[in-house]
Amino acid sequence: MAGMSRLRGRLGWVAALFMAVGLGAALAQVGPTTQIFDPKTHKWINYDRKKARQYYAAHGQVPDAFRRQIVTFRTAEKPGTIIIDGNQHFLYLVLPGLKAVRYGIGVGRDGFGWAGIVRVGRTAEWPTWTPPAEMVARDPNAAKFAGGMPGGPDNPLGARALYLYQGDQDTIYRIHGTPEPWTIGLDVSSGCIRMNNDDIVDLHAQVRVGAKVVVLMQGAALYKGV
Amino acid sequence: MRTIHLAATALLTGLAAAGCSSTAPEPQDMARTTVQTAPADLQLTCASAAATSAGVDADKVLPVGSSQLDATRYQVELNASGQRYTCVVDNMGTVTSVQKAA
């Protein structure tokens, strides 16, 4: 009898696990998805990590929409201001004359997206990457660099980093390069804004310390500076 | 003959109305997400209008949500120093209303 009771308890636990996994899968499908237009089929297709990697391997670059370009941008914000549209995966650098440079970006994955009004506190070329303590604890590869990974082409921060501050406090979020350029256009990070290395070098050359940064993200998990 | 012509015209009109046109977007517009939001510059236009309406510094107003109302207008939800505002802006950047949310 006690054995039957234990068996029922185990079956109930297994059923609950399957329900939780199913619910998780369903919720994962509810989240926003990047799509790109396929000119051959004239259909919008989902653009996930696998598809992005295939596209990059075939074309050697990201889709047109995520490449650097000058666009019309009607705003009263000062030239030099950075506007990040996290939902659409674009970063705008405001130019004079109602124009902006638009760059493709990768942003925080589900639960890691944030919004706010911050500023560029400092910048670095080929920055050192120091993994946060929780990443060191869970990831043996990150643990190797607990004391800091020197800058270079394999460094997760890429060629340049803009450190985002709220007042005089480092938010721990950065706009930085990446050794994984195919991830531009996707929700992949832990909250940092990633750009391909050519783009972050271009942005870094035009941005001043103190520049205002507005981060727009519908459904953000966190707000900074407001 | 006239009947066939009319039928063909009706069919083409119907297809266009149903969105069956095969016109492709411009290359720079060939990406989107399944969450449709207002363009970033229009969200900021609303933030500026809400700052004036709320009497607060524009640096303290953040768009927190947006949606498309129809072919030419967007609604933007804003946080203005803790107060909620709703703004309607058209695709030319003209703000048609700013209201404090209930």
pLDDT of A59 over the 50 cut: yes
**Residue in B66, B18, B61, B21 with CA at minimum distance from that of residue B40:** B66
Alpha carbon of A56: minimum distance to chain B alpha carbons (Å): 15
**Residue in A193, A187, A203 with CA at minimum distance from that of residue A32:** A187
Residue A204's pLDDT band (cuts 50, 70, 90): very high
Range of the domain at A95: 62-224
Are A189 and A112 within 8 A, CB to CB?
yes
Residue-wise pLDDT tens digits, B30-61 = 999 888 899 999 999 999 999 999 999 989 99
pLDDT of A89 over the 60 cut: yes
Flag whether A94 is in a domain: yes
pLDDT of A119 over the 90 cut: yes
Q: Do A74 and B41 touch (CB under 8 A)?
A: yes
Residue-wise pLDDT tens digits, A127-184 = 999 988 888 888 888 899 999 999 999 999 999 999 999 999 999 999 999 999 999 9
pLDDT of B15 over the 50 cut: no
Number of structural domains, chain A? 1
Q: What is the distance between the alpha carbons of residues A62 and A196, in angstroms, rounded to a whole number?
A: 9
Counting beta carbons within 10 angstroms of the beta carbon of residue B92, is it exposed (0 to 12), middle (13 to 18) or buried (19 or more)? exposed
Query: Which CATH number is A105's domain given?
Result: 2.40.440.10
Instruction: Give percent of chain B with pLDDT exceeding 90.
Output: 63
Q: What is the distance between the alpha carbons of residues B37 and B43, in angstroms, rounded to a whole number?
A: 9
Predicted confidence at residue B11, as pLDDT, reads: 46
Using a cut of 0.95, tell me whether the model's pTM lies above it.
no
Flag whether A18 is in a domain: no
Flag whether A187 is in a domain: yes
Flag whether A80 is in a domain: yes
Flag whether A53 is in a domain: no
Quick one: tokens of A101?
């440079």
Dihedral of the alpha carbons of B100, A89, B42, B90, in degrees to the nearest 10: -100
**Residue in A117, A118, A121, A82 with CA at minimum distance from that of residue A102:** A82
What DSSP string describes A136-152? HHH-HHHHTTTT-BPSS
pLDDT of B6 over the 60 cut: no
Flag whether A22 is in a domain: no
**Whole-complex ipTM:** 0.81
Q: Do A216 and B65 touch (CB under 8 A)?
A: no
Q: Do B64 and A220 touch (CB under 8 A)?
A: yes
Does the annotation mark A204 as catalytic? no
Flag whether A52 is in a domain: no
Predicted confidence at residue A115, as pLDDT, reads: 95
Are A224 and A116 within 8 A, CB to CB?
yes
B78 CB neighbours in chain A (<8 A) are: none
pLDDT of A32 over the 80 cut: no
